[in-house]
Amino acid sequence: MRYLALFKALLKMRYIYLKRYYFDTVSMIVTMFLIFLLIFYGAMALLGGATPADSGDTLEGIVVGFMVWTFALVAYSNLSWGLIEEAQQGTLEQLYMSPLGFGWVTIFRVVANFIINAFMVFIVLLLMMATTGKWLNLDMLSLTPLILLTVAGAYGVGFLMGGLALVFKRVQSALQILQFVLVIFIAAPFGWMPFMKFLPLSLGTRLIGQVMIGELSLFQLPPGDVLFLIGNSAFYFGLGFLIFKLFENVARDRGLLGHY
Amino acid sequence: METVLHVKDLTKLYRQRRAEAVVAVDRVSFSVRKNEVVGLLGPNGAGKTTTIKCIAGLIKPTSGEIWLDGVDALRRPTRAMEKVAALLEGNRNIYWRLTVRENLEFFAGLQGYPVGKVKGYIDELIELFDLKEKERTTARKLSRGMQQKLALACALVRQTEVLLLDEPTLGLDVETSYEMRHVLKEMAARGERTILLSSHDMHVVQDICQRVVIINNGRVVVDDRVTSLMKLFQASAYRFEIEGQLSAELELKLKGRFPLLALSATDHRTYIDADLEDDTQLYEVMDILRDGRTQIKSIGHKEPNLEEIFLRIVKGS
């Protein structure tokens, strides 16, 4: 019950921000959509297709890849930038003092952000599909667990960067560079570089593509791949969280939680 | 009365790469009883904030023990968080983009209280802090004083046994500081919380604290009741009223013997404020004044204030 109250408080705060600062929310959706258009029509020109229909699966792949990137980017930046913002405004120490544990506060925050972000990404996805005319398979029963598992890897990276931010404070440059590293993870061509599937996001993006483009359900996917994705996501999420806890300990030892 | 907060031999060292470790807190020990309001005083850098943050679990001590309502805070930090809330850094502990009520609801949620369960208490706090008219205003639009009151209310809504207040009146103008002091006094008078308060504002401390712990250079130098300190210092604080002005030679002689003695003068009178260790020193001052052929108009006990007492203790230690 107490954990539910904590989760509700975090979710409500995120919802209030989304509603109260609607201009920011709308601009984020519009910016994402504009970036997508740029990439999509750029790719179309490179592939030589006069219309989206001529360019086949590659462009559908871009829609899927861009959707995963949006999810990952929002997830990762909400977590790491969020911790920086809390430290800046002096509320991080208050979060830390929750008797339910800072770990749970952070995890619930991540889940609350995911729920809110899912709505925004879904809007961007609908816009993308409407613009390109490529209506993909939206089998939510299969997609929800796959997206959750895939994005968990991005949260792992977010935890890692959040931990670094607690101790080193100014990590903004690294955060910005990592946004583009996420693109490499998503676009990893592990057809000819199999080791790439060990990276976060890579295998997940491919499996999501198989559902959205190949119209397979979760149960039609190779079980080995799904299991590998579970292991991969658990590894990156767990590793990121462990490193975060390690840096949190360092920050407590050096008295840095309230500093920025 | 039962002890709710017990700090024993608390030490915090900050290790540095190419220099000796900095000792922020050095074997600090003190206890606070249930519903007691204790002031933690000390000059800048004395270790007050480090002590408070160690109790709040925000800084890991190098050694020592902290017990919060029977819970070992260093071994069971999460359990200890049930017992303590803190107001740190004045108005920086709230969410500026949330309204007054939303902030209070959020902090209750952070403690694990469902909104429905604490609605009545939130209403009460809004009334107590005179924030009713502003309850739907975002915190960033509030005055600094109101923000600080909201930050205090957010600490209270967590309904913990112990409340740590680090500089609750920092940065407030005289009027708002007075208002904040009034709220703190009312809160202390209700006797519902055990409060450890650190402040440079001695009026606040003198007004609401029953006891003070003074730390200097990381160590406890005084742990006594405010009334006892006042009595102790009143007994040794004298004011001599002298007819006319003192000669430079006499002034030098007095200051040479009693370096902490303070002199002030009007057109026709000179006042000597002296803190004397015993009665023999009183006669010594009188001998010097007699030798200087001064006319003593009156001698009396001077009413000390906590600020003077604090300065004397810190200088003396």
Q: Which of B17, B58, B160 to mutate to test the interface with A (most CBs of A within 10 A)?
A: B58
- B265 alpha-carbon distance from chain centroid: 32
Alpha-carbon gap: A103 to the closest alpha carbon of chain B (Å): 11
Distances B153 to A43, B107, B146, B204 between C-alpha atoms, Å: 55, 10, 10, 18
Residues of chain A whose beta carbon is less than 8 angstroms from a beta carbon of chain B are 1-6, 8-10, 12-13, 16-17, 20-21, 89-91, 93-101, 105, 249, 252-255, 257-258
Which of residues A136 and B57 earns the better pLDDT score?
Answer: B57
Collect all residues of chain B within an 8 Å Cβ-Cβ radius of residue A99. 78-79, 81-82, 111-112
Q: How many CB atoms lie within 10 A of CB B268?
A: 10
Read out DSSP for A89-129? Answer: HT-HHHHHT-TT-HHHHHHHHHHHHHHHHHHHHHHHHHHHH
Helices (H), A21-56: 22-47
CB pair distance less than 8 Å for A6 and B84: no
The structural domains of chain A, with segments of one domain joined by +, span 2-254
Alpha-carbon gap: B10 to the closest alpha carbon of chain A (Å): 14
Which of residues A162 and B307 earns the better pLDDT score?
Answer: A162
- pLDDT above 60: residue A51: no
pLDDT tens digits for range B112-138? 999 999 999 999 999 988 899 999 999
Distances A145 to A142, A171, A239, B317 between C-alpha atoms, Å: 6, 31, 20, 65
pLDDT tens digits for range A91-124? 999 999 999 999 899 889 988 988 888 888 888 8
The structural domains of chain B, with segments of one domain joined by +, span 3-224, 231-316
Collect all residues of chain A within an 8 Å Cβ-Cβ radius of residue B110. 6, 9, 94-95, 97-98, 100, 105
| B81 pLDDT tier (thresholds 50, 70, 90) | very high
CB pair distance less than 8 Å for B112 and A16: no
What is the fold of B3-224? Rossmann fold (3.40.50)
Residue B138 has what pLDDT? 95
Of B50, B96, B105, the CB nearest to A255: B50
CB pair distance less than 8 Å for B106 and A254: no
- pLDDT above 60: residue A239: yes
- pLDDT above 70: residue B212: yes
* Domain B231-316, architecture per CATH: 2-Layer Sandwich (3.30)
Helices (H) and strands (E) in chain B, counts: 11, 14
CB pair distance less than 8 Å for B96 and A89: yes
Of A8, A21, A93, the CB nearest to B58: A93
Percent of chain A with pLDDT over 90: 23
Collect all residues of chain A within an 8 Å Cβ-Cβ radius of residue B114. 1, 4-5, 8
Please, what is the average pLDDT of chain B?
Answer: 87
CB pair distance less than 8 Å for A20 and B97: yes
Pairing of strands B219-225, B194-198: unpaired
Residue A54 has what pLDDT? 47
Q: Say if CB A55 and CB A132 are below 8 A apart.
A: no
Alpha-carbon gap: B133 to the closest alpha carbon of chain A (Å): 20
Alpha-carbon gap: B154 to the closest alpha carbon of chain A (Å): 10
Of A8, A16, A253, the CB nearest to B109: A8
Residue B102 has what pLDDT? 97
| A2 pLDDT tier (thresholds 50, 70, 90) | very high
Q: Say if CB A33 and CB A127 are below 8 A apart.
A: yes
Nearest CA in chain B to A93: B58
Extract the runs of DSSP E, i.e. beta strands, from chain B: 3-14, 22-33, 37-41, 63-68, 71-72, 84-87, 162-166, 194-198, 211-216, 219-225, 237-243, 262-265, 269-275, 296-301
- Average pLDDT in the B164-175 region? 86
ipTM metric: 0.85
Please, what is the average pLDDT of chain A?
Answer: 85
Provide the whole-model pTM: 0.83
Alpha-carbon gap: A69 to the closest alpha carbon of chain B (Å): 28
> CA nearest B106: which of A28, A89, A87, A95?
A95
Alpha-carbon gap: A153 to the closest alpha carbon of chain B (Å): 26
Of A20, A89, A96, the CB nearest to B92: A89
- pLDDT above 60: residue A53: no
Of B79, B111, B154, the CB nearest to A98: B111
Contacts of A58 (CB under 8 A, 6+ apart): A43, A47
Alpha-carbon gap: B109 to the closest alpha carbon of chain A (Å): 5
> What is the C-alpha to C-alpha distance for residues B276 and A248, in angstroms, rounded to an integer?
51
Of A6, A21, A257, the CB nearest to B109: A6
Nearest CA in chain B to A12: B106
Collect all residues of chain B within an 8 Å Cβ-Cβ radius of residue A1. 112, 114
Question: Crossing angle for the helix pair A172-187 and A57-89, nearest 10 degrees?
Answer: 160
- A164 alpha-carbon distance from chain centroid: 18
Residue A62 has what pLDDT? 83
- Average pLDDT in the A25-34 region? 88
- pLDDT above 90: residue B265: no
- Average pLDDT in the A195-209 region? 85
Which of residues B145 and A58 earns the better pLDDT score?
Answer: B145
Nearest CA in chain A to B49: A255
Could you give the 3-state DSSP secondary structure of residue B7? Answer: strand
CB pair distance less than 8 Å for A258 and B107: no
Of B24, B97, B113, the CB nearest to A17: B97
Residue B189 has what pLDDT? 78
Residue A190 has what pLDDT? 65
CB pair distance less than 8 Å for A93 and B115: no
> What is the C-alpha to C-alpha distance for residues A11 and B40, in angstroms, rounded to an integer?
37
Evaluated on CA atoms B252, B256, B257, B263, the torsion sign reads: positive
Residue A57 has what pLDDT? 62
Bridge partners of residue B3, in order along the sequence = B33
Structure tokens given for A112: 């609350």
pLDDT tens digits for range B279-314? 788 888 889 999 888 888 898 887 767 777 777 777
Tokens 């002590």 -> residue:
B51
- pLDDT above 60: residue A15: yes
Residue A170 has what pLDDT? 76
Distances B232 to A62, A95, B124, B316 between C-alpha atoms, Å: 80, 43, 40, 15
Residue B9 has what pLDDT? 94
pLDDT tens digits for range A68-95? 888 888 887 888 888 888 888 889 999 9
- pLDDT above 90: residue A25: no
Collect all residues of chain B within an 8 Å Cβ-Cβ radius of residue A91. 92-95
